């Protein structure tokens, strides 16, 4: 018998309208909705990926997320446009950190990062926004 340590099975996102938020993420990630029960909606989980689910809660997002997702893409500027077309928006105020910070339709924040290596300085600022026309 082999021991296995803890691992992250799923990420749950609290939201007022899980159908709406799940639809946004399903389109963005290309992972269809595959389950609904009670206050929960789940996306498909291809082998080797972390599950992503959405839970209905009474209160909207307030303030900055304490945990956020990083979405890796080959085209950061194109991803920004697509996210906005799907109902997301850019969150201002993070430009000095060098990260593109976006929000889903209920203001759950996430970063869009290039799938290619990028540099971080000693303060943790990224350099990839400097090369983009956003």
| CATH number of the domain residue 24 falls in | 3.10.180.10
Residues 51 and 112 in one domain: no
Report pLDDT for 63.
81
Domain that holds residue 38: 9-57
CATH of the domain at 106: 3.30.720
5: which DSSP letter? -
What is the four-CA torsion angle of 35, 62, 70, 55, rounded to 10 degrees?
A: -10
Please tell me the total count of domains within the chain.
2
Question: Which strands make up the sheet holding 100-103, listed edge to edge?
Answer: 69-73, 109-114, 100-103, 89-90
Consecutive sets of 10 residues in the chain, 134 residues long: mean pLDDT of each?
Answer: 78 96 98 97 95 95 87 96 97 90 96 95 92 78
Report pLDDT for 64.
81
Instruction: Tell me the β-bridge partners of 56.
Output: 15
Report pLDDT for 5.
80
């Amino acid at each position: 018998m082999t021991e296995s340590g803890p691992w992250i099975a799923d990420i749950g996102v609290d939201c007022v309208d899980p159908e709406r938020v799940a639809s946004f993420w399903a389109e963005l990630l290309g992972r269809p909705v595959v389950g609904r029960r009670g206050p929960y909606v789940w996306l498909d989980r291809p082998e080797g990926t972390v599950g992503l689910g959405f839970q209905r809660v009474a209160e909207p997002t307030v303030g900055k997320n304490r945990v956020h997702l990083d979405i890796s893409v080959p085209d950061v500027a194109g991803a920004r446009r697509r996210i906005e077309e799907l109902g997301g928006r850019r969150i201002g105020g993070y430009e000095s950190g060098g990260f593109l910070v976006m929000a889903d339709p209920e203001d759950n924040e996430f970063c869009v990062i290039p799938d290619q290596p990028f540099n971080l300085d000693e303060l943790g600022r990224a350099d990839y926004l400097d090369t983009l026309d956003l």
